[in-house]
A and B are shown apart, each in its own frame.
Chain A
């Protein structure tokens, strides 16, 4: 039985250490060991994007990354998106536009959209739709999500 591995990483700006089995994904570590349950498990095979997190600023599916790979990385989860001053503009605009219904896909959408807006301040609608193609929503039909992201981009540009 392989032993547990000691991992030192940074999650939402704080240094974090954990022990995990090599077979545990970072999604399992986040949810089951670190109680960061905002990141959701959807398909668990890299199709739906519900488990999106940022690793060194890049959005990835946390179901397809092992916990041991987090060593030395900078991870941002949905819990790290809001600031002490309040909600991130994306979160506020998702509320205002009712860009969610059941809410399971929402953390993944917000994290992926944050990755986009961190890189591109004024993405076109086409660019937003392409960038978010790896996040599936079975409730909203996407239009409200796209409008929320557009509105958040406008507000952040002000």
Chain B
């Protein structure tokens, strides 16, 4: 590993100052499960900026009005162990509890998963269907970007030089709502998604009609995708409307534009986008019924 300096700022302002003073060749450290592995593979940085001394970056809190706030450096295990997440955001448990091993979950963060911006990242689809937003700090203050708009390509996000992700905000789930995430891997754990999908639904008070729905898919395009057509296909339809669910699956298959690689082919990934969309919708409806 090449030599670099290390700083652990105590505040957002201090981190912004350090980012502005640097020459841009800065590695931002949360859990390190991507960054440190990349440094070992030859990535060169001049400064490692550790976010974990910034209170907002490691906070995990919930407020009925503002929803869930997940500090960018909060570990996956802290998130899925949090009672509020277990009780009100099970789709976040789905994704954070299947990333890597326990060792990785104890270090790796949702913020890091976003900023590493792997097309196959497992947390973005769930955050997207939950209506999450990314709070970004920069020299001109903070700005918020919808989770689905955060990614611009493989390994690329809308973060500009001098900016960093502070936290992810997830609204309080509506009444009679549910969300679900799943992925396909050819083994039981410790793998990277061939494809993944998440869905959220809001049902009417009778829990028979879908009022609103969101579907997101991953590992099948350069970035995680919100499939607006899939959500639209479900809105206003009965929870057991097979044609509507099939239309949503078709929308996901149409939105997918995957590559073939060691994990799967284009054909398999397009097929999986439909299968996983169906299962995510069914899982979300089930959870909404139980809510």
Contact = CB atoms under 8 A, between A and B. Distances in A.
B21 interface: no
Interface in A98-132: 112, 115, 130-131
Interface string B28-60: 010111001101110000001010100000000
Contacts of A151: none
A35 B3 CA distance: 23
A66 B36 contact: yes
B4 interface: yes
Interface residues of A, number: 32
Interface stretch (A45-53, A77-85, A87-95, A139-147): A45-53
Contact of A65 (B8, B36, B189, B190): B36
Interface in A1-40: 1-2, 5, 21-23, 25
B190 A22 contact: no
B145 interface: no
A153 interface: no
Interface string B1-20: 11111101000000000000
B41, B75, B100, most chain A CB atoms within 10 A: B100
Contacts of A134: 100-104, 190
B77 interface: yes
A45 to B, nearest CB: 5
Contact of A59 (B3, B39, B102): B102
A55 to B, nearest CB: 8
A112 B6 contact: no
B200 to A, nearest CB: 26
Contact of B6 (A1, A55, A65, A68): A68
Contacts of A21: 3
B48 A44 contact: no
Contact of A131 (B36, B48, B75, B102): B102
Interface residues of B, number: 31
B32 A23 contact: no
Given A58-B77, A65-B36, A130-B189, A2 B100 contact: no
Contacts of B1: 23
B107 interface: yes
Contacts of A115: 102
A59 B103 CA distance: 5
A155 B93 CA distance: 32
Contacts of A131: 102
A103 B102 CA distance: 21
B4 A46 contact: no
Contacts of B189: 130, 133
A1 B3 contact: yes
B4 A2 contact: yes
B6 A66 contact: yes
Contact of A22 (B3, B52, B107): B3
Given A46-B100, A66-B6, A59 B106 contact: yes
Contacts of B33: 46, 64
A94 B262 CA distance: 37
B107 A65 contact: yes
A130 B188 CA distance: 9
A96 interface: no
B4 A22 contact: yes
A5 B32 CA distance: 19
B94 to A, nearest CB: 15
Given A22-B3, A61-B107, 18 more contacts: A2-B4, A2-B5, A5-B6, A46-B103, A49-B103, A59-B102, A60-B107, A64-B107, A65-B36, A66-B29, A66-B32, A66-B36, A112-B102, A130-B188, A133-B101, A133-B188, A133-B189, A135-B101
8 contacts: A2-B3, A22-B48, A52-B103, A61-B104, A66-B36, A69-B52, A71-B8, A133-B101
Interface of A: 1-2, 5, 21-23, 25, 44-47, 49, 52, 55, 58-61, 63-66, 68-69, 71, 112, 115, 130-131, 133-135
